[in-house]
Amino acid sequence: MTPPGQENRAGTGNGTDSGTTARARSAIVIGGGIAGPAVAMALRKAGVEATIYEAYDTTADGIGGGISIAPNGLDALGAIDADEPVRAIGTPLYGNVITNAQNVKVAELALPEELPPLHFVWRTDLYRTLHDQSGERGITTHRNKKFLTAEESPTHITAHFADGSTAQADILIGADGIRSTVRTLINAENPPPHYAGLLGFAAPLADTRTPPTGGKLHITHGKRASFGYLSQEDRSGGWFANLPHPEHLTLQEVRKTTPQEWLRTLRAAYADDDSPAVAMLDLTDPDQLLMTGPLELTPPTPTWHRGRIVLVGDSLHATSPTSGQGASLALESAVQLARCLRDHPYSEAFAAYEALRRPRVEEIIEQTDQANQTKARPETRKTDARHHSATWHLHHHIDWNSPT
């Protein structure tokens, strides 16, 4: 790792790139969450050396709740030969069963037969798996590297970190999540994420004491809040809750309230519903309660790239966990960006990437936004099935070998 104040050349780029007509050969990736290691692996496959710079020094163990990797996300991982390790840590999901507060089934979504199952993963496992995969492919992750700013020259870009160190490469990729510094560096007018009116909670259960859900996620749209759970053949599983909360709390503010108190609040929210919610909350060890924080989405991002800088993942298109698409879209974008950089000089590649991705991600975010508004105000719900019937977005396929 570069000592503070010294410069580090990311990847093998040697500074001979002479401008926008050159293909990028090295990349600084800011953020080592989910999109970071994915884009670094995809870039490596595309012949671009990438180095990851992550603000935190922890391994993110125990942080975050459950994430679903949809067929389109697994397809993107397949394009970079990383799908099998993710399948290995996941629980296959074949669809959703939606019930109302009276425990009446109002919808059932079965995945189209031609698609592989979704995989439910705990974020902490996904994070570890992608990092192991990127490490095995020789990609370096520097930790404790909080990105501050960057400056461009005609031949390269230099990133500046909070510890005083710097790094140089041909391009810089902002994979720094929903509170992205790179997003505002590209354009101070890129709007911040907006709050969906919901707080997220989840917990694993060693024994749900609930009949197996047959590989389907069961979701109850209750009187005050939505609750989802999964129970496997051995009755292990877990649950997640989207709790309407008009006040926008940060994750730090959520954590100021004890897990015991949140569990009480959640029990009250589900008290009038005919569902396993209260029983599962009673079974939950407060130490195992995962507070995932406010659900937020990014409005359409006017500027996706500027000069040698481009965005990927939640920094560009955060959809909130309710979409079931946040990680999958991040993985898709990571692979598509790398394909574009494989095929074009970086400025053309960034434009091609935006053209490929913008319509799709904006449509999915818009649909999620509408569904969240209903969840935040259950009294406005018209039909429970409305937001669970579409599967068009799951069919996305990336052909790595075809030119962009």
Q: Tell the smallest beta-carbon distance from residue 68 to ligand FAD (Å).
A: 7
CB atoms closer than 10 angstroms to residue 309: 24
Cα(150)–Cα(12) distance, rounded to whole angstroms?
19
Please state the φ and ψ torsions of residue 149, each to the nearest 5 degrees.
-160, 180
Alpha carbon distance 282, 225 (integer Å)? 17
CA distance 191 to 302: 8
Nearer to ligand FAD, 67 or 361 (CB): 67
Q: Which of 348, 350, 335, 363 is nearest to 39 (CA)?
A: 335
Query: By C-beta, is 98 or 172 nearer to ligand FAD?
Result: 172
What is the DSSP pairing of strand 26-30 with strand 66-69?
A: unpaired
The answer to whether the beta carbons of residues 362 and 41 sit under 8 Å apart is no
Least gap, CB of 272 to ligand FAD (angstroms): 26
**What is the Cα–Cα distance from 305 to 23, expressed in whole angstroms?**
16
CA–CA distances in Å: residue 393 to residues 54, 58, 117, 126, 364 = 30, 34, 14, 22, 8
Nearer to ligand FAD, 39 or 269 (CB): 39
**Closest distance between ligand FAD and the C-beta of residue 27, in Å?**
14
Minimal distance, residue 204 CB to ligand FAD, in Å: 12
The residue among 182 and 269 lying less far from ligand FAD, judged by its C-beta, is 182
CB of 274 to ligand FAD, least distance (A): 27
Q: Closest CB to ligand FAD among 17 and 243?
A: 243
The one-letter amino acid at 60 = A
Residue 329 beta carbon to ligand FAD: minimum distance, rounded to whole angstroms? 8
CB of 326 to ligand FAD, least distance (A): 3
In the complex, which residue's CB is closest to ligand FAD? 33
Question: Measured from the CB atom, is 178 or 289 closer to ligand FAD?
Answer: 178
Closest CB to ligand FAD among residues 64, 117: 64
CB 156 within 8 A of CB 169: yes
Structure tokens at 173: 């990729």
Instruction: Give the nearest distance from C-beta 401 to ligand FAD in angstroms.
Output: 26
Of residues 188, 135, 159, the one with CA closest to residue 26: 159
- Which residue shows structure tokens 């996904």? 126
When the beta carbons of 13 and 32 are compared against ligand FAD, the nearer one is 32
For residues 320 and 381, give the distance between their C-alpha atoms in angstroms, rounded to a whole number: 19
CB of 244 to ligand FAD, least distance (A): 18
Report d(CA 254, CA 128) in Å as an integer: 25
For ligand FAD, the closer CB: 32 or 90: 32
CB of 289 to ligand FAD, least distance (A): 12
Give the whole-angstrom CA distance, residue 33 versus residue 40: 11
Closest CA to 27 of 315, 334, 352, 317: 334
Q: How far is CA 81 from the centre of its chain?
A: 19
Residue type at 238 in one-letter notation: G
Report the nearest approach of ligand FAD to the CB of residue 140 (Å): 14
Distance of CA 305 to the CA centre of its chain: 20
- Identify which of residues 344 and 388 has a Cβ nearer to ligand FAD in the complex: 388
Bridge partners of residue 96, in order along the sequence: 109, 217
Decide whether 125 or 274 has the Cβ nearer to ligand FAD.
125
Cα gap 386→364, rounded to integer Å = 15
Q: Which residues bind ligand FAD (CB under 6 A)?
A: 30-36, 53-56, 63-65, 67, 123, 145-147, 175-178, 181, 292, 313-314, 321, 326-327, 330
**What is the three-class DSSP state of 180?**
coil
